[in-house]
Structure 1
Amino acid sequence: MKPNSLVLIENRKQNFKIYIYIVLFLLIFSFQNLYADSIKERFPPPNNFSRVNFPKDSFASYLQHFPLKLKGSPVYLYNGRTKSNQVHAAVLDFPLLKDDLIQCADAVMKLRAEYFYSLNEYDKIQFRISNGMEVGFSRFAKGDRVKVSGNKTSWKTGKFKKGTGRDVFEEYLRFIYSYAGTISLKSELKKKQVTDLKPGDVWIEAGSPGHVVLIVDQVTGKDGQTLFLLAQSYMPSQEMHILNSDSKYSPWFEVPKNQTFPTPEWEFPTKEIYGFVK
């Protein structure tokens, strides 16, 4: 039989090992929570709700899995300054330009374009600019560019870079940011019923200024109640972020029942909800 002192030492060693395992488990759990890298991981459904799943290659699923910046990150403006009105629960992880270009509608169009780009479906990357002209990325990939003269635009050829590389894609997006906005975006969307919302749909009020917010996730309760997450960019150009709500389920929003739908920085007519046609 071992002396009592040796037994005591061995027991302490065992207890210390258990303590280390517990600490490591808690650290790993906290680390995963802090560095959750997608909307779906960062925001579990509230109690008694379950997430609505969509086909893997759908825009809705793309948004649910979109990466986020570190938990607690502030929203930055294009010039590196911090947004004065921090009304967000998380910040989406995609870079801004150093110019005041990626505002509310631009951020929505960027996400839509990035979705198709990730699938190599380049022919589907197409947006209408403010004068009604349809501008597709496939034309840029062929080496064409758009000539702008006042409110008139036309395609032109020249010694422009071709291909579907990131540099040409970014050049295309920069053009869209410069010549599209809430008015042109709304003109190519279809009206929806608020009871039929899903990730990828938007509330949009066209104008100068106008505003748009994007649904990026959705959950439902056993009683059929729907909750959703909203993301926005704003003016001036700023990182896209998931908004807090005034609901008891915040940051999840409840389906509005009144004629107006207030969000932290804009109030929309409830009926002004739209979805992408293609």
Structure 2
Amino acid sequence: MPRSDFVKRIICISLLIITLLFLTSCKEVKNNIDLSESINTPQEIIVAKSSNYIIPQESTIESRYLPIEGYKRVEVEKGSFGEFLRNQNLKPYGEKVLYYNGREKSSTGVYDSVIDVEIGSRDLHQCADAIMLLRGEYLYSIEAYEKINFNFVSGFKAEYKKWMEGYRIKVEGNNVSYYKATEPSNTYEDFRKFMDMVFAYSGTLSLEKELQSVDIDDMEIGDIFIIGGSPGHAVIVVDIVVNHDNEKIFMLAQSYMPAQQTQILINPLDENISPWYSLKDCEKLITPEWVFELNQLRRFK
């Protein structure tokens, strides 16, 4: 064999060995990821979807997701916030979450379905905003207009009842006030403009202060895991099922940053029940894009 061919063969073999070592090293690093130590860091966790309790052609949370074997849905009062959340309309199964600018968010390791919600073209509808919109939409649907109010981070109380009367909100630094701007009106467009104002000046810091603490064993549909901050995060319980031992498993929804449509989260730790979650023997709630302490459960007063 000519010397030049021998040298080329040695070089090729050496490169192949180096490549194999590199790939093996990468695999070891990936397999050694400890999600409990990677707090609040998005992970590309691929969860296989089971089809025995997911009915893709259905269009609401209640109809698309059946309780897993041995569980049944908790009862909710007719006209309650729990019933409202359970009956949220979903986009066709397999459609992607859209950001405010129209881009798609990959579903890999994050969400299973998308709530059919219009979020506008501004970077406003983030995590706390999505929850406030769900709450506001519910109160608007039952005509409880006087209860539609949210606090700004500054402490100012934004009240939809005053917005209905034709008042608008002026923000000058930390000074916030109402001023009479138009004739009384109560269209859905009025409501959404009010909510956009809330989105712009509220967040996890203000929402957390409005909510009351709830013991994890007393979880109900509509409860919220929240940590106020910059950044903070919040996810909302949109359904609960229970077994004969009164063990609850639940489903979560979120928006995130930048502004995006609300999504039904997969369970990154248990593909057998995903998108349902169980907290049995858990010290934390681990979701695809955030980790919560169990004492961070809150409820609208």
TM-score normalised by structure 1 residue count? 0.85
2:200 is equivalent to residue 178 of structure 1? yes
Distance, in Å, in 2 between the alignment partners of 1:66 and 1:85 is 19
2:277 alignment counterpart: 253
1:117 alignment counterpart: 140
Distance, in Å, in 1 between the alignment partners of 2:165 and 2:236 is 31
Distance, in Å, in 2 between the alignment partners of 1:154 and 1:50 is 48
1:270 alignment counterpart: 294
In the alignment, is the contact (CA less than 8 A) between 2:96 and 2:107 conserved in 1?
Answer: no
2:242 is equivalent to residue 220 of structure 1? yes
2:169 is equivalent to residue 151 of structure 1? no
Q: CA deviation at 1:229?
A: 0.1
In the alignment, is the contact (CA less than 8 A) between 1:190 and 1:274 conserved in 2?
Answer: yes
The one-letter code sitting in structure 2 at the alignment partner of 1:255 is: L
Q: Residue 105 of structure 2 aligns to a residue in which SS?
A: coil
In the alignment, is the contact (CA less than 8 A) between 1:161 and 1:168 conserved in 2?
Answer: no
1:95 alignment counterpart: 118
2:88 to 66, 73, 80: 66
Deviates more, 1:256-265 or 1:64-73: 256-265
The one-letter code sitting in structure 2 at the alignment partner of 1:251 is: P
Deviates more, 1:252-261 or 1:230-239: 252-261
2:13 alignment counterpart: none
1:24 alignment counterpart: none
Deviations 1:36-58 (A, max 9, x none): 12100000000010001200111
Deviations 1:151-176 (A, max 9, x none): 11011113x25211012111101100
1:140 alignment counterpart: 163
Distance, in Å, in 2 between the alignment partners of 1:192 and 1:221 is 21
For structure 2, the residue ranges without an aligned partner over 5 or more in a row are 1-53
2:8 alignment counterpart: none
Q: Residue 115 of structure 1 aligns to a residue in which SS?
A: helix
2:233 to 205, 208, 211: 211
Q: Tell me the matched-pair count.
A: 245
Which of structure 1's runs of 4+ aligned residues deviate more than 6 A? none
Distance, in Å, in 2 between the alignment partners of 1:116 and 1:137 is 11
In the alignment, is the contact (CA less than 8 A) between 1:107 and 1:240 conserved in 2?
Answer: yes
2:9 alignment counterpart: none
In the alignment, is the contact (CA less than 8 A) between 2:96 and 2:106 conserved in 1?
Answer: no
For structure 1, the residue ranges without an aligned partner over 5 or more in a row are 1-31
Q: Percent identity?
A: 37
Distance, in Å, in 2 between the alignment partners of 1:115 and 1:104 is 17
Distance, in Å, in 2 between the alignment partners of 1:208 and 1:156 is 30
2:70 alignment counterpart: 48
Deviations 1:165-193 (A, max 9, x none): 01211110110010000010001100000
In the alignment, is the contact (CA less than 8 A) between 2:225 and 2:235 conserved in 1?
Answer: yes
1:57 to 74, 79, 82: 79
Q: Residue 99 of structure 1 aligns to a residue in which SS?
A: coil
1:12 alignment counterpart: none
Q: Residue 89 of structure 1 aligns to a residue in which SS?
A: strand
In the alignment, is the contact (CA less than 8 A) between 1:259 and 1:269 conserved in 2?
Answer: yes
1:27 alignment counterpart: none
In the alignment, is the contact (CA less than 8 A) between 2:126 and 2:256 conserved in 1?
Answer: yes
The one-letter code sitting in structure 1 at the alignment partner of 2:233 is: H
